[in-house]
Amino acid sequence: MALFDNAIIYKIEAKCVSPLHTGDSGAQTDEILVGSDGRAIIQGSSLAGAMRAYAGVNCAKVCEGLFGSNEKEGRLIISEGVFEDTSPVQFRTRLRIDSKSGSALKGAKFDVRHIGAGSIFKFSITYLGTERDMDSDAEAVEKILAAMDNGIIRLGAYKTSGYGRVKLEVFKQVYHMKDESERRAWLKDEYNGRKLDLAKAATASAHSGVNFNIKCEIPEFLIKAATFDFEKKYTADTQQNVVQQNIIEDEYDEKTGKKVRYVIIPGTSIKGVIRNRVQIIADWLEKNKSIENIGRLPDEMFGTETGDGKKGLVLFDEVRVRYNENVNSKCCTRIRINKFTGGVIEKALINEEPVSAAAQISISMPGDADDESAAEKKRMYLLMLYALRDLGLGLYNLGGGQSIGRGYVKVAAVEVSDGTRSGTMYFDENRNISCDDKDGMFKQWMDSLEV
């Protein structure tokens, strides 16, 4: 039984910035966890696990005291997160790709169910401690919450593919048990918390990770394809015989109250092509520059399902672009050709709807490296930089339609920052590249290849 003379209750309202998956990530058809009342939930153990993983690196001195160990209970009690009744459950179809062949694995098509972006859930954190520990413990808890608010901590499954980002609104009330009125308020569950300024706590949660922001225009990214129906006129809203469709999600603008439509480019799509490029570059460096073991770094960066499996380090965000069928999308008709006969495949007349829009792609990598792994981390950052350089040079594309020129991103700039230093790669209209590396960050990464 915990002995305490001070208590803090944090009441948190979390809004999903991206989809959140709370069920088993290994099932063929993923399901959402629900409580006894039928509402979707995220388990307290899941919240605690995500927080503890961050605290173990960034709040190491107080981590065990807060979260406990096998021998001793912690000072935190974390409730389940319970979603509102109106939270939409959505699903996306995904494929597992063979990294060697580039094609789908047999039986690897599956559906992922998730709670939609914009959904809200609430949970609480109760701290039971002593006067001596309270200030340092509270600072650590608020540092953790700020990291969650900033997207450093993500929740649920598929975190490296853009899922699990939340924004928080946090209220805090402290109870001093030696004060009779506050003790009485504690016993009666009276709560009058003040709103916590996470911006101040965020200064303490600054981490040494590296962020890559790609400012670009994505031309003719395919969002929908359907077999042609001669009896019905094709429009952007046609759902008949859809064989391929990217996600279009509706959201209401808080200022105007009007519905806004977004095309979602999933983080998995971006992650897959960049991982492939990183692997190509790493294999080339190992073979042609005799840089030992660099070929295994992509698995460290992006994770692997082989053996016992390993979680990746690189975090991708989903890309959301405004969708207006009369402005930035168009419908076009194509036919499929039999590559062996040169003739038209039967029922191969299809309509497609590509969309073109300005976008920003965000990628982050943690940088909490000890001395032994610091050199490897620099090489990982450099591999990512090289892969994004190749994207800007037009050496590979995003999405389908590569053979007809679709998805070749027009990159304006790749902005890179590690919190204290920054550097930028610029690309002109002809894909010529220039660099601003006044802080020497890129050079330091390139020096890590010297053997």
Tokens describing residue 330: 């168009």
Position with higher pLDDT, 206 vs 171: 171
The pLDDT of residue 326 is: 57
In this prediction, residue 422 has a pLDDT band, given cuts at 50, 70 and 90, of very high
Tokens describing residue 280: 């190509």
Separation of alpha carbons 99 and 128, rounded Å? 49
Residue ranges of E strands in 79-209? 81-83, 89-97, 104-115, 120-129, 166-176, 194-195
Backbone angles phi, psi at 23, to 5 degrees: -100, -160
83: left (phi over 0), alpha (psi -120 to 50) or beta: beta
Mean pLDDT: which of 109-123, 249-263, 404-418 is highest? 404-418
The pLDDT of residue 57 is: 86
- Model confidence over 424-437: pLDDT tens digits? 999 999 999 999 99
- Model confidence over 261-274: pLDDT tens digits? 778 888 888 998 99
Is residue 353 within 8 Å of residue 224, measured between CB atoms? yes
Is residue 381 within 8 Å of residue 365, measured between CB atoms? yes
Separation of alpha carbons 24 and 38, rounded Å? 18
User: DSSP states of 38-73 as a string?
Assistant: S-BEE-HHHHHHHHHHHHHHHSHHHHHHHH--SSS-
The pLDDT of residue 287 is: 92
Tokens describing residue 264: 């979602």
Is residue 155 within 8 Å of residue 48, measured between CB atoms? no
In this prediction, residue 53 has a pLDDT band, given cuts at 50, 70 and 90, of very high
Mean pLDDT lowest for which of 33-37, 232-236, 332-336, 400-404?
232-236
Is residue 329 within 8 Å of residue 354, measured between CB atoms? yes
